[in-house]
Structure 1
Amino acid sequence: MANILKFECIDNARQLGGILAGGRRVKHNKLFRSGNLSKATDHDLHRLRDEFGVHQVIDFRSDFEYMRKPDKLLDGMQSILIPVLDESMHGDAFNKEQVVPATGVDFMEFLFGIARHPIAKTLKDKLYNYFVESDYAHRQYRTFFETVLAQKGAPVLWHCTSGKDRCGFGAVLMLAALGADDNAILDDYAESENSYHKQLEAMSKKGRESGMTDEQLDILHFLVSVKREYMETPVKRINQEYGSLLNFIQKKIGVTQAQIESLRKYYLE
């Protein structure tokens, strides 16, 4: 996919330009999504700021996640923290001490430990249903739209930790508001799988060798990468309950028709 951007230390980065949206196309190099910027090199950041013109960064991570790995930014760049997950999501599945590996713990082994944890079976469904059901998440995504609108067509980048789940649902909503159809939206979401393909392949191989079950390997896939079906499930549910993603954006996220028209004026060609 031509929209993928290669950086030295920013994972899963791409721009949404060229995606068909209601008979028009998203403008190139205006809307960006990625993993977090905590490991970004100076070269990466200069590319974002000076080549692509990104001055506004939106971070969907929690305060706790941000404090552990704050974004690196250059002068003239600013980040706004819009945490998407409420305390129920942080607390129900794993407490903070369990989520964060201790110093010196191999990260791959840490992920294997989560994948083997009995409660991990519910993580995927819990997260993607949360996006559909949570009033808190809806308010936070409304703030996301308001922040993008405030740029008045200037480039903006949003991310979470790996740029696939919270960031991915943000991209789903943004593309739907711009008029993209469900297939184009899901194609963009599924592109994250390619970004983490080599990493996932290595982890899966080691997981099989260590005796992980197919179910545990699927959980590992969810933790590291994506499958199109992950986002297909909430999109189908939204379509059944609200008629379309656009109706959901207006009725539940609270984005007005006037705001949608402004977004299209700013970011479509």
Structure 2
Amino acid sequence: MFSKLVNFRDLGDIKTIDGKRVAKHRLLRSGVLYELPENEQKELLDTYQLKAIVDFRGDDEIAKNPDDVLSGVSEYYINIMEKDVKTTSQQNLMDQMNTNDSHGLMQGLYRQLIVDTFAQKQYRKFIDVLLKQDEGSVLFHCQAGKDRTGIGAAIILTILGVSKEDIFTDYLKTIEGRREANEQMAQKLREAGKSDIEVERFLTLMSVSADFLEAAFDEADKKFGSFDQYITDALQVTNQERQLLKDMYLVD
């Protein structure tokens, strides 16, 4: 499978409430696609028929770790948060290691991803990309593939009719998907003299917890009535577009 491509998974086979399934090799999520070995690039192109990459990161992140250029694959840069706004970027999270309330910090960032008007416009652009992909797979990612990507996955899975419970099940797969990469980073912090408390906070910030995503759903409930209504009102996704996405990305 993949070793360098961290936190990768195919959303295919996730069931919807009405008994359909997300089609295999159509919707993929992961961390950054940086310096992937040739065999992993080939796997994406040949096995998953990759046609488009959606990069949710900011310019600084992309400059440090640019996506690999893959033949025949379109790249869409959709920075979710405006510059100078506190985001869930890896560097910003590492800068927050001294915070006493790691969970509270992450919950606040997830709420921000829902109510920020720029983020709403950018997630709408993500939907526009999905509406154009008639064949092959779309891979969407940020740096770690957990927060901005997690909200993106929740949006499209909600549109497709997946239950909240199953959306959370997919989201929490990141705990295992990032375990090895996070531990490697934690070891470097220990070697750099960081305390056990700082390392523990870092691990909280660089993984996921159900209460992070729950904060996003709660904020959508407060501001829009439900997460589904957030998609309608904030992202301006019409019923016609919802049906088209279902026709494109679901199978019986």
Q: Distance in 2 between matches of 1:83 and 1:261?
A: 26
Q: Distance in 2 between matches of 1:81 and 1:135?
A: 18
Q: Where has structure 1 moved over 4 Å in runs of 4 or more?
A: 117-122, 199-202
**Deviates further, 128-137 or 114-123:** 114-123
Q: Distance in 2 between matches of 1:239 and 1:117?
A: 27
8 Å Cα contact 2:58/2:80 also seen in 1: yes
Residue of structure 2 in register with 1:253 after alignment = 235
Q: Distance in 2 between matches of 1:230 and 1:118?
A: 16
Residue of structure 1 in register with 2:160 after alignment = 178
Relative to 1, partners in 2 of residues 1:211 and 1:17: Cα closer, same or farther, differing over 3 Å?
Answer: same
- What do the CA deviations read for 1:134-188 (whole angstroms, capped 9, x no partner)? 0000000000000011112431100000100111110010100101111111111
Give the deviation of 1:119 after TM superposition: 9.7
Residue of structure 2 in register with 1:226 after alignment = 208
3-state secondary structure, aligned to 1:156: strand
Q: Distance in 1 between matches of 2:4 and 2:181?
A: 14
2:65 is aligned, of 66, 69, 77, to: 69
What pairs with 1:46-125 in structure 2 (closer than 5 Å)?
A: 46-90=42-86, 99=91, 111=94, 114-116=96-98, 123-125=105-107
TM-score scaled to structure 1, two decimals? Answer: 0.82
Asked if 1:32 corresponds to 2:24, the answer is: no
Q: Distance in 1 between matches of 2:103 and 2:160?
A: 34
Asked if 1:266 corresponds to 2:248, the answer is: yes
Relative to 1, partners in 2 of residues 1:237 and 1:40: Cα closer, same or farther, differing over 3 Å?
Answer: same
8 Å Cα contact 1:58/1:159 also seen in 2: yes
What is the total number of aligned residue pairs between the two structures? 247
Q: Distance in 1 between matches of 2:38 and 2:88?
A: 36
Asked if 1:164 corresponds to 2:146, the answer is: yes
1:8 aligned partner, one-letter code: S
8 Å Cα contact 1:46/1:74 also seen in 2: no
Relative to 1, partners in 2 of residues 1:245 and 1:223: Cα closer, same or farther, differing over 3 Å?
Answer: same
1:21 aligned partner, one-letter code: T
CA RMSD of the aligned region, Å? 2.9
Q: Distance in 2 between matches of 1:35 and 1:159?
A: 5
Residue of structure 2 in register with 1:196 after alignment = 178
Q: Distance in 1 between matches of 2:107 and 2:39?
A: 38
Give the deviation of 1:73 after TM superposition: 2.3
Relative to 1, partners in 2 of residues 1:248 and 1:153: Cα closer, same or farther, differing over 3 Å?
Answer: farther
8 Å Cα contact 2:160/2:246 also seen in 1: yes
**Deviates further, 220-229 or 14-23:** 220-229
Q: Percent identity at matched positions?
A: 27
Give the deviation of 1:256 after TM superposition: 1.1
Q: Considering fraction of residues, name the structure with more helix.
A: 1
1:10 aligned partner, one-letter code: L
- What do the CA deviations read for 1:17-62 (whole angstroms, capped 9, x no partner)? 1111131111111100000101211111111111110020000001
Listed as ranges, the gaps of 5+ residues in structure 1 are: 1-5, 101-109
1:172 aligned partner, one-letter code: A
Q: Distance in 2 between matches of 1:66 and 1:211?
A: 30
Q: Distance in 1 between matches of 2:173 and 2:4?
A: 18
Asked if 1:140 corresponds to 2:122, the answer is: yes
Residue of structure 1 in register with 2:15 after alignment = 20
8 Å Cα contact 1:121/1:219 also seen in 2: no
3-state secondary structure, aligned to 2:139: strand
Residue of structure 1 in register with 2:218 after alignment = 236
TM-score scaled to structure 2, two decimals? Answer: 0.87
Q: Distance in 2 between matches of 1:119 and 1:230?
A: 13
8 Å Cα contact 1:93/1:123 also seen in 2: no
8 Å Cα contact 1:10/1:39 also seen in 2: no
- What do the CA deviations read for 1:188-224 (whole angstroms, capped 9, x no partner)? 11110011224445738x86x96444xx556313332
Q: Distance in 1 between matches of 2:132 and 2:170?
A: 24
Residue of structure 2 in register with 1:8 after alignment = 3
Q: Distance in 2 between matches of 1:33 and 1:257?
A: 25
3-state secondary structure, aligned to 1:11: coil
8 Å Cα contact 2:131/2:245 also seen in 1: yes
